Amino acid sequence: MHPSIHEKAPGKCPICGMDLVPVKPERALSDSTNIGQSQGREFSIPVERQQRIGVVYAEVQPKRIRFDIRAVGTLEADQGQIFECVARVDGYIEGLQVTSPGERVTGGQPLMTIYSPDLRAPQQELINLLKAEAGGSAPPASMDPLIDLARRRLQFLNVGDSEISELERTGQPTDRLLFRSPGDGVVSEAPMKVGMGVRRGDKLMTVVNLSRLWLWANFYENEIELLREGLPVTVILPAFPGRKFAGQIGAINPSIDPVRGTTLVRVDVPNQDRKLRPGMYVNVIVNIDAGAALAIPFDSVLPTGSRMLVFVDKGSGKLEPRFVQVGRQFVDSADPNQERYYQLTAGLRQGERIVSGANFLIDAEAQIQGVLKDFGETSTIRAER
């Protein structure tokens, strides 16, 4: 327990009162210790004593490496579902059918009425072409492309199909444009007021379809290699405690923020019930399945600065200290006990037994017996099954 205490004769530790253990001379440590090979020393702790101090062993075995990556982010509107209603004629607002942000609209629903003399000339052109076709003054084959072009010119001015059909039926041009919603959604901006003048290019209204949102989350650069497009994502919001939303990765930004060491990942989140709103703060959970690999319990490893140390069971109470290399630390997301593990990359083979409990007591015994002195630098061999 207290390796700093040394006595020349048997007795008890003045700190904890435990019996002092005689130090047995061991073989000198090899100058060239290798990861995964014998470190040149073994030491003995009687099995009965191991039982008293609570030593627990674990066997090196393949384990399914499943863990969660967590991140935070915010919701935004899908840029492909934002409809900017822009004036394409000069005039003024004669009437508003939709007046404020937050109102729900459907595709083709009237939003406002615009008075504009600019409409008369293209409407009259279509009427003249239709009359020429009906009068037989020109072959139909030559008139059809001109009539289609006149219709498209009106459509470019935001004249709806129903208004064009009515114009063709009545032959009466009008100065009034009934501006309709380009799609289903919610009005997010409505800057226009009755009587305001408008010019070509002015924003009249913004309609946003919220049936699907974008979630932008920051992931660390060492996590990017584990992510891919199409990977399922769980979304949790403080606004909806106890509820989870599903999404999937839609895009991964190719650049890394050099200051924070993160990159932006876009998650596409369905929002059919319209509960989610742009600007909401969210927590993101990505479940990673990295396949099967050798793993050892987190508590079986003792950090010794730049290296990791384990104690290997050699049988009959003998233990061997050995340096190992480990990869990612993980908690098996499917494990109800939520025990922590290290992915093993070098140093142990499948089936070997290592100490996974009371490691610090074993370390103290090793210090007392002098087996951890002068551990040299190590080279690497890979973990083998």
- 176, 208, 240 - which closes a domain: 208
Say what the pLDDT of residue 26 is: 44
Q: How many domains does the chain have?
A: 2
Say what the pLDDT of residue 28 is: 38
- 164, 186, 208 - which closes a domain: 208
The pLDDT tens digits of the residues spanning 306-342 come to: 788 888 888 888 888 888 888 888 876 667 777 888 8
Whether residue 363 is contained in a domain is answered as: no
On whether the CB atoms of residues 150 and 129 are closer than 8 A, the answer is: yes
Say what the pLDDT of residue 367 is: 66
Q: Where are the alpha helices (DSSP H) in the chain?
A: 47-53, 120-135, 140-156, 161-170, 359-368
- 140, 173, 208 - which closes a domain: 208
On whether the CB atoms of residues 263 and 69 are closer than 8 A, the answer is: no
| Radius of gyration of the CA atoms of the chain, in A | 38
- End-to-end alpha carbon distance in the chain: 35
Decide: residue 52, CB within 10 A, 0-12 exposed, 13-18 middle, 19+ buried. Answer: exposed
- Measure the CA angle with vertex 152, ends 151 and 156; round to 5°: 120
Beta strands at 318-331 and 212-220: parallel, antiparallel or unpaired: unpaired
Whether residue 40 is contained in a domain is answered as: no
Q: Are both 267 and 182 inside the same structural domain? A: no
DSSP states along 162-202: HHHHHHHHH----SEEEEE-SSSEEEEE----TT-EE-TT-
Q: Give which of 204, 235, 175, 198 is closest to 83, Cα–Cα.
A: 204
Q: Low-confidence residues of the chain, pLDDT below 50? A: 26-34, 37-39, 376-382
Residues 6+ apart with CB under 8 A from 224: 252, 256, 263
Q: Are both 245 and 285 inside the same structural domain? A: yes
Q: Are both 100 and 193 inside the same structural domain? A: yes
Q: What angle do the packed helices 140-156 and 161-170 form, to 10 degrees?
A: 130
Whether residue 232 is contained in a domain is answered as: yes
Domain that holds residue 255: 69-78+210-290
Say what the pLDDT of residue 270 is: 95
Cβ–Cβ contacts within 10 Å for residue 319, how many?
Answer: 24
Q: Are both 151 and 254 inside the same structural domain? A: no
The pLDDT tens digits of the residues spanning 79-133 come to: 999 999 999 999 999 999 999 999 999 999 999 999 999 999 999 999 999 988 8
> What is the CATH number for 224?
2.40.30.170
Query: Strand order of the sheet with strand 82-86?
Result: 82-86, 203-208, 185-189, 104-105
Q: Are both 134 and 204 inside the same structural domain? A: yes
DSSP states along 102-144: T-EE-TT-EEEEEE-GGGHHHHHHHHHHHHHHHHTSS-HHHHH
